[in-house]
Structure 1
């Protein structure tokens, strides 16, 4: 199996949740950010892009400059921390607000990355690609990143790569964007 690194995007303003620290919201007794980092158990290193938070001593922390530049800018900041070596062939990229992400999800995505593909993303039950639940070839990510990633479209940039879709298991792509999402994930 190729070597895997991990990047968790854990910034953002959480405007629909009144600005709370969304990645630290608990679902099932565990902060969402800890769930995402735990799903990357097979990855080394793991980089979290966002404000430093307690309880995750084994991760590397970084921020996009300026903060708030969007997910593509955060991805670029995370990639900049990873070594550009053959040992870092694949990179798992996860949002920090995923309520049902597991190491099994990442394993399935990793297994789906074919020789000719740029990466694999989870596809939800409605057929939508979940751009922040994926495993990518590091070289491919670096090749498509624009010189100025701030406020650029993540989907537009990553969509240029040859992508394998991996159907989700029921609820696997659940994230927390609104108070309703939080209630639903806590009830489920």
Structure 2
């Protein structure tokens, strides 16, 4: 089965003071580079502002939210039968990816849940046909939440080892994950 990946990297990072989450560092390496290394061998499109040497697309209009970003990314992977939807701000993505790829899927795919059972939409593997159908049913994806796009899909869930599903939305999240913010020196 042909698999592709949509890596969302265009958020405003507002709870982090407007920093580019793709540039956050873990172990001296930007999160974007860590994610792309983990996805080596999988056709990947990054959704967000243009980045040198990386295939990117931009949601329309720019910064119109994650549902619009997913739809834009999906359009850039016409041959994919399965699509990984991933967020760039997942510091442990390299460790989480093998478990996600190996997890049994439901009719429309599989998505990670955190220890409280909350669905992590951007740590999932989806059937491309199901995503296309959901996008058609949604209509204009601008400024719509991911749940509006993905919430109706028949997905299996996978609980990953603790912390692998954690993203970086706040300074406290960054500290917990060992992520270095711009202007900080690694300790």
Does TM, scored on the shorter chain, surpass 0.5?
Answer: yes
Aligned counterpart, 1:46: 44
Aligned counterpart, 1:89: 81
Aligned counterpart, 2:57: 62
Alpha-carbon separation, structure 2, partners of 1:4 and 1:42? 10
State the secondary structure of the residue aligned to 1:52. Answer: coil
RMSD: 1.6
How much has 1:20 moved relative to structure 2?
1.1
With the length of structure 1 as denominator, give the TM-score of the two structures: 0.87
Aligned counterpart, 2:155: 163
Alpha-carbon separation, structure 2, partners of 1:17 and 1:135? 27
What do the CA deviations read for 1:112-163 (whole angstroms, capped 9, x no partner)?
A: 343x510111111111111110010011100001220011121132111110
Alpha-carbon separation, structure 1, partners of 2:154 and 2:140? 22
1:1-188 matched pairs, under 5 angstroms: 2-43=1-42, 45-54=43-52, 57=53, 59-83=54-78, 85=79, 88-102=80-94, 105-114=96-105, 117-145=107-135, 146-186=138-178
Alpha-carbon separation, structure 1, partners of 2:69 and 2:118? 22
Alignment length, in residue pairs? 177
Q: Which runs of 5+ in 2 are unaligned?
A: 180-187
Alpha-carbon separation, structure 1, partners of 2:126 and 2:41? 15
The answer as to whether partners of 1:113 and 1:135 remain within 8 angstroms in 2 is no
Alpha-carbon separation, structure 2, partners of 1:165 and 1:89? 19
The answer as to whether partners of 1:35 and 1:98 remain within 8 angstroms in 2 is no
Alpha-carbon separation, structure 1, partners of 2:114 and 2:108? 19
Q: Which runs of 5+ in 1 are unaligned?
A: none
